[in-house]
Structure 1
Amino acid sequence: MQKIKVILVALAVTLAGAVSADHMKSHTVKERTKPTGKVYRVGDDVPKAAPVVAATQSAGPRSGEDIYTQKCAACHGTGVAGAPKVGDSGVWVDRIAQGEEVLISHALEGFQGSTGFMPARGTCTDCSDEEIAAAVKHMVANSQ
Structure 2
Amino acid sequence: MIRLFLLLSTLALLTTACSREEQPAPQPTPTSPAAQEAPAAAPIAPGPIVTNDPEALSDMGARYYRRGCAQCHDEGVGGAPRLGDVEAWRPRLDKGLHKLVENAINGFQGESGLMPARGGNPQMRAEAVSMAVRFMAEVSRAEDEESAEDEWDEEDLGDEEGEER
2: CA distance, partners of 1:124 / 1:73: 13
**5+ residue gaps in structure 2?**
1-46, 50-58, 142-165
Find out whether 1:98 has 2:95 as its counterpart.
yes
Which residue in the other structure is 1:64 paired with? 61
Runs of 4+ in 1 over 4 A off after TM superposition: none
Residue type of the partner of 1:60?
Answer: P
Kindly report which structure 2 residues correspond to 1:98-117, keeping only aligned pairs within 5 A, or say none: 98-117=95-114
1:39-96 Cα distance to aligned partner (Å, 9 max, x none): xxxxxxxxxxxxxxxxxxxx93691111100100010010000000010000001100
Number of residues of Structure 1 aligned to a counterpart in Structure 2: 86
Which residue in the other structure is 1:120 paired with? 117
2: CA distance, partners of 1:125 / 1:108: 9
User: TM-score by structure 2 length?
Assistant: 0.50
Which residue in the other structure is 2:135 paired with? 138
2:118 aligned counterpart, secondary structure: helix
Residue type of the partner of 1:85?
Answer: R
Kindly report which structure 2 residues correspond to 1:78-93, keeping only aligned pairs within 5 A, or say none: 78-93=75-90
Which residue in the other structure is 2:159 paired with? none
Which residue in the other structure is 2:56 paired with? none
Offset of residue 139 of structure 1: 0.3
Calculate percent identity across the aligned residue pairs: 38
2:123 aligned counterpart, secondary structure: coil
- RMSD between aligned residues: 1.7
Residue type of the partner of 1:117?
Answer: L
Residue type of the partner of 2:115?
Answer: M
Offset of residue 125 of structure 1: 2.7
**5+ residue gaps in structure 1?**
1-58
Offset of residue 123 of structure 1: 1.2
Which residue in the other structure is 2:20 paired with? none
Kindly report which structure 2 residues correspond to 1:23-42, keeping only aligned pairs within 5 A, or say none: none
